[in-house]
Structure 1
Amino acid sequence: MHHRTKRRTLRALTALLAATALYAGAAQAAGYPERPINLIVSYGPGGGTDLVARMMAPFLQKYLGGDARIVVLNRPGAGGAIGFTELARAQPDGYTIGFINTPNLLTIPIERKSGFSWQSYDLLGNLIDDPGAFTVLQDSPLKTLSDLSAYARQNPGKATVGTTGTGSDDHLAMLRFERASGTTLSHIPYKGAGEVRGALAGGEITTGAINVGEALQYQKGGTPLRFLGQMGKARAAELPDVPTFKEQGYDVELASLRGLAAPKGLPEAVRAKLVDAVKRTVDDPGFQAKARDMYAPLRYLPPAAYAQELAAGEAEFRKLWQAAPWLDK
């Protein structure tokens, strides 16, 4: 065969293969989803992520179209590592997606060997940005963060703080507060915010490190919680009377990003369909109204901006780990 003819044949073959692959991908996306999609939540039922996942599922189903049905699977434990690992190892076919939560997603791979990093996923978009907070029961004598730090000084080992696990945003918030206040608090880890709320309501712990949105929801549900302070950059619209940690003289700022991701390597057309469905869900006025009712502070980030934010967060936590490792002694 002549060289030129050989080249032409090769070119035609390459084009045919590319077209076939494209067609297969498009066919896959056109038919997608053809069976239920599992949505992994790495925390227990009743926590902020779980409640948002269940509220969001019908919207995501609507925008994915076809036979979309979303099944929420709770995989709690190890500060989120069990669920994050399962999500990272799942088939990248669009039938397993999940919530990824900072800072746990970023801190766990820094503190111990783990089966994931934030780069193990195809990011689909961030939905929520929920500041950390310290809460007590309404009848607690503690009214401010300085009350808490004075109490911790006077009662060594008695100032207990419930969190959603070692290396969680709540735990890091507690450690940052210890450093900023020069006090020592006793860390009590739980499997999710729902358990922390229960422990606080039952009088088992002095303080609950519970994110703003979750705490507001528990208040609405009848748990008599009071805020000592919240860790946003500024006061929250929902909490105009609650001062930030910074306003109270403690340089602590921390929030939890909660977004959707899939195992890395999704077919491009399936990825595009999921990213689009997430964006349309966040833009839906019905979804926004429900998020407001649940006190879920929305902050949409498309995949590229989300990746930037995760990379910056990871760099910050690496610095923090070198300065002061946060594993429990």
Structure 2
Amino acid sequence: YPALAGDHVDVGAFSASAAVTYTRTPEGEANPESPIQLLVYAGNERHASIPEVPTFKELGYDFSFCFGMWYFAPKGTPQEAIDGFAEMVAKALETKSMQTFLAKNAMEQDYLNSSGLGEELDDLWTRVEPVAKRAKKK
């Protein structure tokens, strides 16, 4: 954010939560004093907190990407510990206080267990790898 707000770079990528923090008032309205402008959202659908921002797909680009919060454990962590942590996270996400926190911070709940996360990461790599290879060549 500092590089973009300070006019040191032309574009930046942020999570929806960060974008809301940087461009909205505490009441959720567009902040006319924000030094940055939101151009496009990388989710599959427009985000409820920034509904005026189009998606890449709406602009004709077959692209989506989510800035997720993923938890990892060291190799060799006992399965019992992994399962217990996953259960704790799943239960926490069901609470009213967590739902309120997520909504207030422009975060969406999309809980994945370890096998679901593995599939998600494989899919993500399939989408990102070609872009990364092209970027490396420049």
Task: Give the TM-score category using the shorter length.
Answer: 0.7 to 0.9
For residues 278 and 235 of structure 1, the distance between their equivalents in structure 2, rounded to whole angstroms, comes to: 26
What is the aligned-residue identity percentage? 26
Which aligned pairs between 1:189-200 and structure 2 lie closer than 5 A?
A: 197-200=1-4
Match of 1:245 in 2: 56
Q: TM-score, normalised by structure 2?
A: 0.78
Does residue 295 of the first structure (1) align with residue 99 of the second (2)?
A: no
Structure 1 unaligned spans of 5+: 1-196
Q: Could you list the runs of 4 or more consecutive aligned residues of structure 1 that deviate by over 4 angstroms after TM superposition?
A: none
Matches within 5 A, 1:209-228: 209-220=13-24, 224=34, 225-228=36-39
- Within a 5 Å distance, the mapping from 1:63-142 to structure 2 comes to none
CA apart distance, 1:272: 2.2
The whole-number CA distance in structure 1 between the counterparts of 2:123 and 2:24 is 34
In the TM superposition, what is the alpha-carbon distance from 1:281 to its structure 2 partner? 1.8
Q: Compute the displacement of 1:328 (Å).
A: 6.3
Q: Which has the higher contact order (CA 8 A, sep 6+)?
A: 1
1:321 is displaced (CA, Å) by 5.8
Question: How many residues end up aligned between the 2 structures?
Answer: 131
Q: What corresponds to 2:95 in structure 1?
A: 284
Rg larger for:
1
Higher strand fraction (1 or 2) = 1
1:260 corresponds to 2:64 = no
Shift of 1:268: 2.9
User: Where does structure 2 lack aligned partners over 5 or more consecutive residues?
Assistant: 26-30
SS at match of 1:307: helix
TM-score of the two chains, using structure 1 as the length reference? 0.36
Gap change, CA 1:203 and 1:316, over 3 Å in 2: closer
Cα distance in 2 for partners of 1:239, 1:247 equals 15
